């Protein structure tokens, strides 16, 4: 398994396009299998660079991602650089903070771009600043020859554009109406301005702010808001007025001057959800990570799903003895439904985080689910737990979640039916008035039907 | 309205890209408004060509399309070239034929590509064989300058590709697992081989054949089948065996030899559904027809929706006094939900035509709907009628359809509730056994819930 069958002179060449998180990790997976790996990245080598350009974003590393890192011996190194998160912390409008535990051991989180530095202890040729030429033979650009091309070049993948030219390639890109903006919350007297081991959330229906801790004791606050709302705010005073109205407790922590200044530093950024299928062309090319399935960032699974791609591909490589012509179609068959499921879940959470986290019903159901999980830990497992703390396939987690919901709602349905019929026996001791029965019956049923279908 | 405000010397130039059905019609709409219209088409001018290349397909022209043609004075000329269809004709496996009327006056249908010939009586410059260069200034290709670029260049639109390069452009292309293949049914003794004024359908669950009459007394049969089924059939004998099993009555009408030969003439063709938003860039460019919303061909609305685009755009031009900077965003706002609705309906019919046309329940509901439409013609209007015989906005037709379904099902719900409670009174004269009540109650409710949500 460590050596390719034909010996070093006949090593197959794998070209990994994109040296981001998934590309870098994937390069290590292929290197570990003994392939001749070339990693293509247009940005300069950040191990040598003094200033790293490009955006940085806080990411949550959970079970799936850790399993992938473990495979190449990187788990502890990365986790030790992160800050564990044990719970969500909900900030109400009046400044009250209420923790909602995740129900299981915490997550670690980390910053972008560091992975490529650590992981290069594997024998990977880093081909910096090379324009990758694909399916083109006019001789005008450097050509790359490889036995397998792995497109890990992110949400706006150049490799995927070549897929789009072919027939029967299903593809969707959906921009959500919200943009995001990052603001920094500095340390206070050298310490975190808020409790560090939490994902801080300010849910405000149409918009939302979250804050995640950094190693330098700052928090990165991310404000999610429809673009049209961002555009309404045009002066520093309007920024303060807006925060006064919705996030008053954050103003002193970010600072009035910083807030007035930083709000206008960069325009709000767009968020896109990308789904496609198939992930492969013949036995030559495959898409992974954001290139195959960019998700909106509301389930904390973007990086984890990309890392899990590497394990899943590796497992199939093992199963089919590294025969690309069998591995690639199987990878599409196995992985597409899971990636589509997590893309949908992230979109679902986009609504849930803003709206429901606030609602009594949502909290009630969270408690019911956690209680049932406590009573029947093998039967009822909250969706969040399956997604974040297990490697249950995403689409199976979703199917199981719907099944659990049906079971729980059927329980309610039976109880309610009993109550209704019990009530009607009392009524009909005197001559029964059919309307009296029908009105509450119809009401109750439509409520239960709404529950079942919502 | 017939003259542009600044007189002929300051006429605004509109470049219509694509000389297919929608492009040709649209060119006439703009010419009628007095714009200087240039129509770009890479194929040669089919009015001069001896052999017209490209595929031809039978299309159904209904109310929306006719209204658009009427606007430029072409309705009668086109309709007289078509064959009216009054009903569907369902072919059972045993050869039995059962008509299902459309419930209203028939449709006309016509062949592709003829429109461009008739419509050029308007002053439109036809720019044949010009490569259209868009947003590119390297000087290597002929540049076109226009005040407005109208992309009517079909499902694989080159203009739309430019939209895809921009942020916040939502886009999806979905290929269905089915392909299609056309077979010709020749005349018998100079007459149509089957009754001509029908859409003939052979629904067979996973696959389906339809046949539409042509002016030369032939029928074009279109076989819809999953690609993998097409690929299973590799010899002439297997074709006959397959038709023997599923479409026995069609074999003598197409002819054994023709069937064996024509099945292998061309590979099965793919079908794609395309949705996107927005339809415009600034005040300079707009997408219409298949370029904006390719639909699968199962509601007979592809061309009609494209033609209606022209009317809707024209109505908005009137409303905003031909100010492109106001017209284009409004066109996106108004038209996107309708085009998405018809794309979804066509996809829904893709399933319905194959599966439900056969089922007793489907026929029962069709009868119920037609009966209710007869009793309450203003209140209950079958979806098919709204889509095909009115200009009710597509998304409103769908909303109304869902509303009607709720009303009808609620009617059923109340009747059933009454029956159930009536029944339970009888039961509880003797000591009531709660289980006896609960089981049928739960059964009935889940059936009704299934109906409501299906």
DSSP state of A188: B
Contacts of B452 in chain A (CB under 8 A): 449
Distance of CA B417 to the CA centre of its chain: 40
Are A263 and A233 in contact, with CB atoms under 8 Å apart? Answer: yes
* DSSP class per residue in B323-353: -HHHHHHHHHHHHHHHHHHHHHHHHHHHHHH
Distances (CA, A) of A405 to A102, A375, A398, A401, A453: 19, 16, 11, 6, 10
The vertex-A386 CA angle with A385 and A390, nearest 5°, equals: 100
pLDDT in tens, B370-404: 777 777 777 778 888 899 889 999 999 999 988 88
Contact A174 B172 (CB under 8 A): yes
Residues of A with CB under 8 A from a CB of B: 167-175, 227, 270, 413-414, 417-418, 421, 424-425, 428, 432, 434, 437-438, 441-442, 445, 449, 452-453
- Which sign, positive or negative, has the C-alpha torsion A349, A353, A354, A357? positive
Are A327 and A321 in contact, with CB atoms under 8 Å apart? Answer: no
Contacts of B449 in chain A (CB under 8 A): 449, 452-453
Contact A421 B441 (CB under 8 A): yes
Tell which wins on pLDDT, B399 or B117.
B399
Tell me how close the Cα of A25 comes to any Cα of chain B, in angstroms.
Answer: 28
Contact A438 B414 (CB under 8 A): yes
Residues of B with CB under 8 A from a CB of A: 167-175, 227, 270, 413-414, 417-418, 421, 424-425, 428, 432, 434, 437-438, 441-442, 445, 449, 452-453
Q: Torsions phi, psi of B327, nearest 5?
A: -65, -45
Count other Cβ atoms within 10 Å, centred on residue A94: 7
Distance of CA A191 to the CA centre of its chain: 29
Give the strand pairing for A198-204 and B269-277: unpaired
pLDDT tier for residue B77 given thresholds of 50, 70 and 90? confident
**Regarding the domain delimited by A8-346, which CATH topology (the fold level of the hierarchy) does it fall under?**
FAD/NAD(P)-binding domain (3.50.50)
Contact B414 A173 (CB under 8 A): no
Using CB atoms, pick whichever of A175, A414, A441 lies closest to residue B417. A441
**Minimum mean pLDDT range among B20-24, B193-197, B420-424, B429-433:** B429-433
Chain A residue with minimum CA distance to B451: A449
Contacts of B428 in chain A (CB under 8 A): 425, 428
Contacts of B227 in chain A (CB under 8 A): 168
Tell me how close the Cα of B271 comes to any Cα of chain A, in angstroms.
Answer: 8
Average pLDDT, chain B: 81
Are B132 and B40 in contact, with CB atoms under 8 Å apart? Answer: yes
Cβ-Cβ contacts under 8 Å for A341 (sequence gap 6 or more) = A394, A395, A397, A398
Residue whose entry in the numeric block shows the structure tokens 């059905």 = B21
Cβ-Cβ contacts under 8 Å for A289 (sequence gap 6 or more) = A18, A20, A21, A22, A23, A26, A152, A154, A306, A309
Using CB atoms, pick whichever of B175, B432, B452 lies closest to residue A170. B175
Contact B270 A167 (CB under 8 A): yes
Q: How far apart are CA B61 and CA B77, in angstroms?
A: 13
Are B85 and B219 in contact, with CB atoms under 8 Å apart? Answer: no
Chain A residue with minimum CA distance to B446: A449
pLDDT tier for residue B437 given thresholds of 50, 70 and 90? very low
- Which sign, positive or negative, has the C-alpha torsion A346, A350, A355, A357? positive
**Residue B116's pLDDT is what?**
53
Tell me how close the Cα of A453 comes to any Cα of chain B, in angstroms.
Answer: 8
Contact A421 B424 (CB under 8 A): yes
Q: Which of helix, strand or coil describes residue A366?
A: helix
Q: How far apart are CA A348 and CA A327, in angstroms?
A: 31
* DSSP class per residue in B284-312: TEEE-THHHH---TTSS-HHHHHHHHHHH
Q: How far apart are CA A33 and CA A424, in angstroms?
A: 70
pLDDT in tens, A387-445: 988 999 999 999 998 888 887 777 766 766 666 666 555 555 554 454 554 454 455 44
Are A342 and A384 in contact, with CB atoms under 8 Å apart? Answer: no
The vertex-A34 CA angle with A31 and A37, nearest 5°, equals: 45
Q: Which of B305, B298, B294, B287 is nearest to B67 (CA)?
A: B305
Element (DSSP H or E) covering residue A432: none
Tell me how close the Cα of A340 comes to any Cα of chain B, in angstroms.
Answer: 14
Using CB atoms, pick whichever of A168, A413, A453 lies closest to residue B175. A168
Rg (CA), chain A: 25
**Residue range B260-280: average pLDDT?**
95
Q: Which of helix, strand or coil describes residue A76?
A: helix
Distances (CA, A) of A336 to A61, A176, A312, A331: 22, 22, 11, 8
Q: Which of A173, A228, A340, A437 to mutate to test the interface with B (most CBs of B within 10 A)?
A: A173
pLDDT tier for residue B351 given thresholds of 50, 70 and 90? confident
Count other Cβ atoms within 10 Å, centred on residue A84: 13
Write down the domain spans for chain A. 8-346, 363-453
Contact A425 B428 (CB under 8 A): yes
Are A293 and A332 in contact, with CB atoms under 8 Å apart? Answer: no
Rg (CA), chain B: 25
Tell me how close the Cα of B454 comes to any Cα of chain A, in angstroms.
Answer: 11
Q: How far apart are CA A267 and CA B166, in angstroms?
A: 16
**Residue B82's pLDDT is what?**
81
* DSSP class per residue in B376-430: STTT---HHHHHHHS---HHHHHHHHHHHHHHHHHHHHHHHHHHHHHHHHHHTTS
**Residue A135's pLDDT is what?**
40
Q: How far apart are CA B148 and CA B324, in angstroms?
A: 8
Using CB atoms, pick whichever of B413, B417, B425 lies closest to residue A432. B425
Tell me how close the Cα of B295 comes to any Cα of chain A, in angstroms.
Answer: 14
Contact B417 A438 (CB under 8 A): yes
Which tokens hold the place of B100? 């299902």
Q: How far apart are CA A181 and CA A226, in angstroms?
A: 11
Tell me how close the Cα of A38 comes to any Cα of chain B, in angstroms.
Answer: 28
DSSP state of A86: -
Are A134 and A81 in contact, with CB atoms under 8 Å apart? Answer: no
Residue B451 has pLDDT above 50, yes or no: no
pLDDT tier for residue B20 given thresholds of 50, 70 and 90? confident
Contact B417 A172 (CB under 8 A): no
**Residue range B154-182: average pLDDT?**
93
pLDDT in tens, B218-240: 999 999 999 999 999 999 999 99
| Low-confidence spans in chain A with pLDDT less than 70 | 1-9, 44-56, 103-144, 353-365, 412-413, 415-454
Distance of CA B27 to the CA centre of its chain: 22
Residue B244 has pLDDT above 60, yes or no: yes
Chain A residue with minimum CA distance to B275: A172
**Residue B95's pLDDT is what?**
86
Are B162 and B135 in contact, with CB atoms under 8 Å apart? Answer: yes
């Amino acid at each position: 398994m460590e050596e390719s069958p034909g010996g070093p002179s006949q090593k197959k060449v794998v070209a990994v396009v994109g040296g981001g998180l998934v590309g870098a990790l994937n390069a290590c997976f292929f290197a570990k299998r003994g392939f001749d790996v070339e990693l293509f990245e247009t940005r300069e080598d950040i191990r040598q660079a003094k200033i790293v350009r490009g955006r940085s974003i806080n990411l949550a590393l959970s079970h799936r991602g850790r399993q992938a890192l473990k495979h190449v011996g990187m788990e502890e190194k990365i986790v030790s650089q992160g800050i564990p998160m044990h719970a969500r912390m909900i900030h109400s409008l009046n400044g009250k903070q209420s923790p909602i535990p995740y129900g299981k051991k915490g997550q670690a989180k980390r910053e972008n771009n560091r992975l490529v530095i650590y992981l290069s202890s594997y024998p990977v040729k880093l081909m910096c600043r090379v324009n990758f030429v694909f399916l083109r033979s006019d001789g005008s650009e450097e050509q790359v020859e490889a036995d397998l091309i792995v497109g890990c070049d992110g949400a706006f993948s150049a490799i995927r554009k070549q897929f789009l030219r072919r027939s029967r390639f299903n593809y969707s890109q959906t921009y959500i109406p919200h943009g995001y903006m990052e603001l920094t919350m500095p340390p206070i007297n050298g310490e975190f301005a808020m409790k560090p081991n939490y994902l801080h959330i300010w849910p405000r229906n149409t918009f939302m702010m979250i804050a995640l801790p950094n190693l330098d004791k700052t928090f990165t606050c991310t404000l999610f808001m429809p673009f049209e709302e961002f555009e309404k705010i045009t002066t520093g005073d309007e920024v303060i007025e807006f925060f006064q109205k919705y996030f008053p407790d954050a103003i002193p922590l970010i600072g009035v001057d910083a807030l007035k200044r930083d709000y206008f530093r960069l325009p709000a950024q767009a968020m896109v959800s990308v789904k496609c299928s198939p992930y492969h062309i013949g036995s030559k090319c495959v898409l992974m990570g954001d290139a195959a399935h960019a998700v909106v960032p509301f389930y904390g699974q973007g990086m984890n799903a990309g890392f899990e791609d590497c394990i899943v591909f590796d497992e199939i490589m093992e199963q089919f003895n590294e025969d690309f012509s069998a591995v690639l179609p199987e990878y599409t068959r196995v992985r597409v439904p899971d990636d589509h499921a997590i893309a949908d879940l992230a979109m679902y959470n986009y609504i849930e985080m803003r709206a429901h986290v606030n609602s009594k019903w949502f909290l009630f159901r969270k408690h019911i689910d956690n209680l049932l999980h406590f009573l029947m830990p093998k039967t009822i497992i909250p969706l969040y737990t399956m997604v974040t703390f297990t490697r249950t396939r995403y689409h199976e987690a979703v199917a199981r979640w719907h099944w659990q919901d049906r079971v729980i709602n059927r329980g309610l349905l039976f109880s309610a039916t009993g109550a209704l019929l019990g009530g009607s026996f009392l009524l009909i001791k005197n001559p029964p008035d059919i309307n009296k029965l029908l009105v509450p019956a119809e009401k109750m049923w439509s409520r239960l039907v709404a529950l079942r279908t919502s």
